[in-house]
Structure 1
């Protein structure tokens, strides 16, 4: 009985994660601002980390957890870099508009 429940829970979890990645991808494409795209990309990274966690439970392989950890670290660094880029871009745009 418990294995059936675990399998069903994992399948529902996989479907929810895939659906959230698709919705975040739509937001990534549509935008409209750079900040929206950064948040969507960060959310996609978190969802893929969750997918790796579900796969580790499903297949009983700890290698998926290693992949999830590396992906989480790379995603964090990418988010910080994109946030710094967006901040610099905003400051530069303010300076150009104040000069005019």
Structure 2
């Protein structure tokens, strides 16, 4: 039963990644692309977490934590850049 739930989780995350990638490439504005990029980062963290459950290797959880912190710091850096440089919408 757990293997079915893991397979379904992988499937849903991949669908969400494809939709987020579509929004990242399509836009229409810079904030839309930034949110899509952050969503993709969160989905990658979720995928690593599910992989840790699937393989029962706890080291993957450490990797997921580092990836989540890196994505958070990247979001802060992009927001600061937009605030300081005054980048307008497309």
Regarding TM over 0.5, the answer is yes
Q: Give the distance between the partners of 1:31 and 1:89, measured in 2 at CA.
A: 20
Runs of 4+ in 1 over 4 A off after TM superposition: none
RMSD in angstroms over aligned alpha carbons? 1.3
Aligned counterpart in structure 2 of residue 54 of structure 1, from 50, 54, 61: 50
Alignment gaps of 5+ in structure 1: 94-100
TM-score by length of 2: 0.90
TM-score by length of 1: 0.82
Q: Which has the higher contact order (CA 8 A, sep 6+)?
A: 2
CA displacement 1:15-70 (0-9 Å, x = unmatched): 11111111111111111111111100111111111001100000000111011001
2:22 corresponding residue in structure 1? 26
Higher gyration radius (CA): 1
Alignment gaps of 5+ in structure 2: none
